[in-house]
Structure 1
Amino acid sequence: MKYIVIGLGNYGSVLAEELTSLGHEVIGVDQDAQNVDRMKDKVATAYVVDATDEAALTVLPLQTVDVVIVAIGENFGASVRVVSLLKKNKVKHIYARALDDIHKSVLEAFSIDRVLTPEKDAACMLVRLLELNIEVESFQIDEEHFVFKFGIPRKLVGCQVNDLKEDEDFNLKLLALVRGKMVKNSLGISVLEKEVDNAFPEDYTLQAEDRLVCYGLYKDFVKFWKSIGK
């Protein structure tokens, strides 16, 4: 995919580099020549452009990219003006960064595709990490619902899937089983081989190397996780 990232500060530069590392074409934009110079060899193209200037903004290929990301955060006025100009130029897909709830509310009024709240998201992710520990990976679907992948706690090894009662007691939907098995590779070294199974018997006996994937409310999963032990 092709992206324009407007604002090459700490957040925008990392975003641009990560997208590039994944094979996407990234055009970086900033009014600060030093920021652009720092990024010019790390992205496909980098422009010194004041994106709050409507005439200057027209030099960018706004209609030929998949997404324009406004990574400006600290300058509230500049962020809002750039988003306004992008909407005026009928850019199809716009993501924009917000630093607080007021900023987020103003950006939401433009009906853009997504408002990014990296600082808030990072704090929430840390809280979840501390609360659930590293045995749980989560993917957020909306404000309350998540998909969770978690390792089998020691006390559940040898139990059957139907012993969990995740649906009956915690309103969680079990989506998949990731079976883990230690095998020897071509060099005779033991490695963990994983196989995802979306249809498995309820009397399947859980192994230490397995992982389970479920879906539900975050608060319900916390209750479930605490009930099965860590």
Structure 2
Amino acid sequence: MARLFTEQFAFSAGDSVVVIGLGRFGSSVAQSLIRLGHDVMGIDKDAELVQRWSNALTCAVQADSTDVNVMRQLGVADFSHAIVGIGTDMSSSLMTLMTLTELEIKDIWVKAFTAEHGQIAQRIGAHHVVYPEADMGARVAHLITGRMIDFIEFDDGFAIARIHAPASTHNKTLLVSRVREHFGVTVVGIKRANEEFEHATATTLIQPGDLLVVSGLTSKIEHFAGSTEKR
């Protein structure tokens, strides 16, 4: 789950990030950001969680994230990005968000567990809202169908996916199969067994067993992935 969400974060290399809430979601995201080369301060009111992650993060602090004076003293205002990963306490999550907006953090991400939570967070000042449970549920559902091997879906319904080459494309070049015209999907590249990844061009020949990296609306990718008609 952490990899899915860190892929969404448009952070520059070396950016500093404060992660508030070191439960399952927050700690996973924090660790992933560390592996990607970011400096991460973790904040939680639970001393046990802070102790658990103190050696894994750049620094971990036990503090009340809803207190703007405490957060200012910790230097949170100097961070480029903030992620509010507080569990199921909506009040603490929103009060922490208010603190971050008062500190004028320029890029704030909030984990929301209901649509109402997300809507309020956006009105208060969250720049991005993520729904881990809902998004992961949709992701798993797509993968269970067997049509997609992996995919990332963005807020506007646009997705990038890795799929098995549909029967409709077998033994044809992309120019001949006209995937974009027929399905509204772009084939970005192909991966063939024991061969290097290849960026797709009009003359790329698709063979049975090839894996395709495609982009487009999720619904259109699903349709394309399941296409069997020999055009």
**Same fold by TM (over 0.5)?**
yes
Aligned to 2:119: 105
Q: Deviations over 1:92-123 (max 9, x none)?
A: 11111100000011001123221121111111
Once the two structures are TM-superposed, the CA of residue 59 in structure 1 deviates from its matched residue by 2.2
Q: 2:40 aligns with which of 26, 31, 51?
A: 26
Aligned to 2:163: 150
Once the two structures are TM-superposed, the CA of residue 137 in structure 1 deviates from its matched residue by 2.5
- CA–CA separation in structure 1 for the residues paired with 2:146 and 2:191: 21
- CA–CA separation in structure 1 for the residues paired with 2:161 and 2:228: 15
Once the two structures are TM-superposed, the CA of residue 179 in structure 1 deviates from its matched residue by 4.9
Aligned to 1:188: none
Q: Deviations over 1:56-112 (max 9, x none)?
A: 222222232221111113111010001011101111111111000000110011232
- Confirm or deny: 8 A CA contact 1:156 1:206 kept in the other structure: yes
Q: Deviations over 1:28-55 (max 9, x none)?
A: 1001101100110111101010111222
- CA–CA separation in structure 1 for the residues paired with 2:54 and 2:102: 28
Q: 1:136 aligns with which of 149, 154, 160?
A: 149
The residue matched to 1:28 in structure 2 has which SS? strand
Q: 1:48 aligns with which of 62, 70, 88?
A: 62
Once the two structures are TM-superposed, the CA of residue 150 in structure 1 deviates from its matched residue by 2.1
Structure with bigger gyration radius: 1
- Confirm or deny: 8 A CA contact 1:150 1:211 kept in the other structure: yes
- CA–CA separation in structure 2 for the residues paired with 1:73 and 1:20: 21
- Confirm or deny: 8 A CA contact 2:110 2:121 kept in the other structure: yes
- Confirm or deny: 8 A CA contact 1:177 1:210 kept in the other structure: no
Q: 2:189 aligns with which of 177, 190, 194?
A: 177
Aligned to 1:221: 221
Q: Deviations over 1:4-25 (max 9, x none)?
A: 1111111111111121122221
- Confirm or deny: 8 A CA contact 2:139 2:151 kept in the other structure: no
Q: Deviations over 1:162-201 (max 9, x none)?
A: 4534223222233x23353x6xxxxxxxxx2313324341
Q: Which moved more, 1:215-224 or 1:102-111?
A: 215-224
Q: Is the counterpart of residue 196 in structure 1 residue 198 in structure 2?
A: yes
- CA–CA separation in structure 1 for the residues paired with 2:191 and 2:72: 53
Q: 1:88 aligns with which of 77, 102, 105?
A: 102
Q: Is the counterpart of residue 120 in structure 1 residue 134 in structure 2?
A: yes
The residue matched to 1:227 in structure 2 has which SS? coil
Structure 1 residues 179, 97: CA separation in 2 closer, same or farther (over 3 Å shift)? closer
TM-score by length of 2: 0.83
Could you tell me which runs of 5 or more consecutive residues in structure 1 were left unpaired when the two chains were aligned.
183-191
TM-score by length of 1: 0.83
State the superposition RMSD in angstroms: 2.2
Aligned to 2:11: none
Identity %: 24
- Confirm or deny: 8 A CA contact 2:166 2:227 kept in the other structure: no
The residue matched to 1:109 in structure 2 has which SS? helix
Structure 1 residues 144, 155: CA separation in 2 closer, same or farther (over 3 Å shift)? closer
